[in-house]
């Protein structure tokens, strides 16, 4: 069998995968040979794009981080980002349309634009060296900050609707996106030509925001599904090194009035070869240890 038939390395990037739930539900495929809880204390604010960006560049971008810290302060005092808190706050005092207008015209200019847009592609915009530069035939399906919008316009519209209580279209959209992402990975593996694969799915983050305040069975079926899919990938590629990583987990929000989930202050990592890391940005060094291109 040629070396190219199975990727040397496969990273399964599972946004929002909660360490405590993977452990509690004993999701063996995800836990692999060795798993660990990742410490996020270097990140100051737990938001998706700078954390994924740090995994593929090996460093935390201070400028991007500061933008998110500013954003966090703008939408609430909480150090953690409670998504779209501003929308809920504004909704209480003024009609929604005006609230959106205030956000677009008064808030975002102070940040140089909406950070969901301006940071969505910062790794490419800043021409950073990434893990992809160390492989001959890399593949990815879009990683936040590397080429995939954190929230595409359609998703953001549906997120706002979901916060207001209409969760069905949001859920449908997220599940459709997940199915498409799975197919993309299976097709890429079927092509048997890539030496490095970085697959990304936001399903557990997206559903987690919506379901984490409800009975945990709502979340469990999605965790079981992802765990099952991971098992399939492991079967297809028994020779590949497989790393599974999340940028943060999910936890219930303190505010009892809402079931909307929040990002937890730790993340998840596992490997099928026993390697381990403590912080998300260390993934970079781990990957390039196995590089196939000199740089
Ligand atoms: Zn995330």
Give the domains, in start order, of the chain with CATH numbers. 3-61+123-288 (3.40.720.10)
Kindly report which listed range (86-90, 181-185, 230-234, 289-293) carries the lowest average pLDDT score: 86-90
User: What is the CA(249)–ligand 1 centre distance, in A?
Assistant: 8
Higher per-residue pLDDT: 72 or 170: 170
User: What is the CA(4)–ligand 1 centre distance, in A?
Assistant: 31
Q: Residues lining ligand 1 (ion), CB within 5 A?
A: 15, 48, 205, 247
Span 106-132, pLDDT tens digits? 666 666 777 878 888 899 999 999 999
User: What is the CA(44)–ligand 1 centre distance, in A?
Assistant: 14
Round to whole Å and give the CA distance between 206 and 15.
8
Rounded alpha-carbon distances, angstroms, from residue 57 to 115, 127, 144, 283, 285: 19, 10, 13, 9, 9
pTM: 0.88
User: What is the CA(5)–ligand 1 centre distance, in A?
Assistant: 31
Rounded alpha-carbon distances, angstroms, from residue 114 to 108, 119, 120, 153: 5, 8, 10, 12
User: What is the CA(247)–ligand 1 centre distance, in A?
Assistant: 5
User: What is the CA(56)–ligand 1 centre distance, in A?
Assistant: 15
Round to whole Å and give the CA distance between 61 and 48.
13
Higher per-residue pLDDT: 163 or 31: 31
| 77 pLDDT above the threshold of 60 | no
Round to whole Å and give the CA distance between 94 and 104.
15
Maximum alpha-carbon separation in the chain: 65
User: What is the CA(96)–ligand 1 centre distance, in A?
Assistant: 26
Per-residue pLDDT band for 44 (boundaries 50, 70, 90) equals confident
Q: Cβ(69)–Cβ(80) under 8 Å?
A: no
Q: Cβ(266)–Cβ(39) under 8 Å?
A: yes
- Token look-up 């960006």 returns 53
Phi-psi region of 179 (alpha: psi -120 to 50; beta: other; left: phi over 0): alpha
User: What is the CA(146)–ligand 1 centre distance, in A?
Assistant: 14
Rounded alpha-carbon distances, angstroms, from residue 103 to 76, 108, 160: 14, 6, 13
| 198 pLDDT above the threshold of 90 | yes
| Percent of the chain predicted with pLDDT > 90 | 57
User: What is the CA(14)–ligand 1 centre distance, in A?
Assistant: 8
User: What is the CA(263)–ligand 1 centre distance, in A?
Assistant: 8
């Amino acid at each position: 069998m040629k070396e190219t038939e199975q990727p040397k390395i496969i990273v399964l990037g599972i946004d929002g995968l909660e360490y405590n739930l993977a452990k509690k539900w004993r999701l063996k495929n995800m836990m692999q040979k060795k798993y660990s809880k990742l410490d996020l204390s270097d990140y100051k604010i737990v938001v998706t794009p700078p954390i994924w960006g740090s995994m593929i560049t090996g460093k935390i971008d201070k400028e991007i981080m500061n933008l998110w810290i500013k954003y966090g302060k703008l939408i609430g005092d909480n150090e953690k980002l409670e998504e779209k808190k501003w929308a809920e706050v504004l909704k209480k005092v003024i009609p929604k349309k005006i609230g959106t207008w205030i956000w677009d015209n008064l808030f975002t200019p102070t940040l140089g634009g909406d950070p969901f847009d301006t940071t969505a592609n910062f790794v490419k915009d800043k021409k950073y060296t990434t893990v992809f530069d160390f492989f001959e035939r890399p593949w990815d399906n879009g990683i936040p900050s590397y080429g995939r919008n954190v929230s595409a316009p359609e998703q953001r519209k549906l997120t706002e609707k979901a916060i207001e209580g209409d969760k069905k279209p949001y859920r449908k959209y997220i599940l459709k996106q997940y199915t498409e992402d799975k197919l993309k990975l299976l097709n890429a593996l079927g092509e048997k030509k890539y030496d490095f694969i970085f697959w990304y799915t936001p399903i557990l983050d997206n559903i987690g925001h919506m379901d984490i305040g409800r009975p945990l069975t709502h979340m469990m079926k999605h965790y079981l599904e992802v765990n099952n899919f991971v098992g399939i990938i492991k079967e297809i590629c028994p020779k590949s090194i497989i790393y599974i990583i999340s940028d943060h987990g999910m936890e219930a929000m303190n505010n009892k009035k809402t079931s909307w989930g929040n990002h937890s202050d730790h993340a998840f990592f596992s490997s099928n070869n026993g390697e381990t890391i403590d912080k998300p940005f260390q993934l970079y060094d781990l990957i390039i240890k196995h590089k196939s291109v000199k740089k």
